[in-house]
Amino acid sequence: MKNLYTLRYKQLHVQRLDGLYRALLYDGFFQLPRALVAYPSIRELFASDWGVKPFIVRLAMDGTQAKKIVTESLVWPNALAIDYFAERLYWADAFRDVIEMANLDGTGRRTVISDDKLVPHVFGLTIFDDTIFWSDWTRRGILFANKLTGQNSTRLMETVLPPYSLKAYHPFMQMEAPNICEVTTCQHICVPKLDGSGQQCLCAEGFIMHESGLCEPNCTKHQLLCSRPDHKCLNLIYRCDESYNCRNGDDEMECPVSICMHDERMFPCRDNRKCILRSQRCDGFVDCYDESDEFYCADLAIAWSH
């Protein structure tokens, strides 16, 4: 089993790569999350936040033992990168116009580059061999320099639009690490324990762990339970929208014949008297006679992040 970690809307999630299940690890810990990097061989994550009190945090892949390792002299920690060979963490502060590094526990912090002309607004960061590469919005390009001294800075390429994230892709960068979850009995999601002693099973959102170790549905009144093989809770906003969000079609059963003629750009009102554009659904304005375009919108931002 392989997982994908995402940081969005003040929440840290882990989900299976097949997209079937997603579990919430943290909710409310972050204020304005920005960057997220993983160190699989030590089963840890590093994340940055540039809220009122900016920080860089280190935490286990099972969502436990979060510890803020950098909290001082930090404003917009806009990028994170790990030097896996030297075991150092790099970050860029787009407000202070610096690129810095430290040990993985936050000690040994020092500045690599401090220059408002060279790094005026770094967005992405990556390390390869003895070189640090970064993208800069103000300079509209990709640049690189020595990862320890910041010397010999060079523009690799220019971009028309502000460049965003970048990653170095090379066999040397694909660090091999044992996958503790390669064989698992976890029903939904398997994550490694921090000490490497075994697996931790997690249930997807809308489910709770039964004492038997199985995940039992715990859907709210605003959710529909998709039966197996999905076996998940689905926001009712997807009910009868002419799209199979439950693989077995539970969300499209016993629906009125639509007047939208199977046009994916359109949304059928529940009373089947009118078709509106999907972009008009949950926009704060009533467009359907029965107001069904504004039903179940309270959790829309979370629902659309699935």
- 142 shares its domain with 276: no
d(CA 62, CA 76): 27
Domain count, the chain: 2
- 229 shares its domain with 295: yes
pLDDT at residue 179, rounded to an integer: 85
Q: DSSP character for 257?
A: P
Q: What is the CATH number of the domain that holds 121?
A: 2.120.10.30
Q: What residue ranges in 84-158 does DSSP mark as E strands?
A: 88-93, 98-103, 110-114, 122-128, 131-136, 141-146, 154-158
| Ordered per-residue pLDDT tens for the chain, 306 residues | 789 999 988 899 999 998 888 999 999 899 999 999 999 999 999 999 999 999 999 999 998 999 999 999 999 999 999 999 999 999 999 999 999 999 999 999 999 999 999 999 999 999 999 999 999 999 999 999 999 999 999 999 999 999 999 999 988 887 778 888 888 889 999 999 998 888 999 998 888 898 888 898 888 888 888 887 777 788 888 888 777 888 888 888 888 766 676 677 888 887 767 888 888 888 888 888 888 888 877 655 444 444
- 107 shares its domain with 163: yes
- 87 shares its domain with 159: yes
Which domain, by its residues, includes 149?
A: 31-173
Provide DSSP, 173-185. GS-----TTSS--
Question: Is residue 183 situated within a structural domain?
Answer: no
- 154 shares its domain with 47: yes
Question: Is residue 187 situated within a structural domain?
Answer: no
d(CA 271, CA 251): 17
pTM for the whole structure? 0.76
- 36 shares its domain with 105: yes
pLDDT at residue 293, rounded to an integer: 85
- 145 shares its domain with 42: yes
Q: Which of 92, 172, 183, 105 is nearest to 133 (CA)?
A: 92
- 150 shares its domain with 274: no
- 229 shares its domain with 165: no
- 252 shares its domain with 135: no
- 46 shares its domain with 131: yes
Give the number of C-alpha atoms closer than 13 A to the C-alpha of residue 33, restricted to the C-beta side. Answer: 19
d(CA 35, CA 44): 14
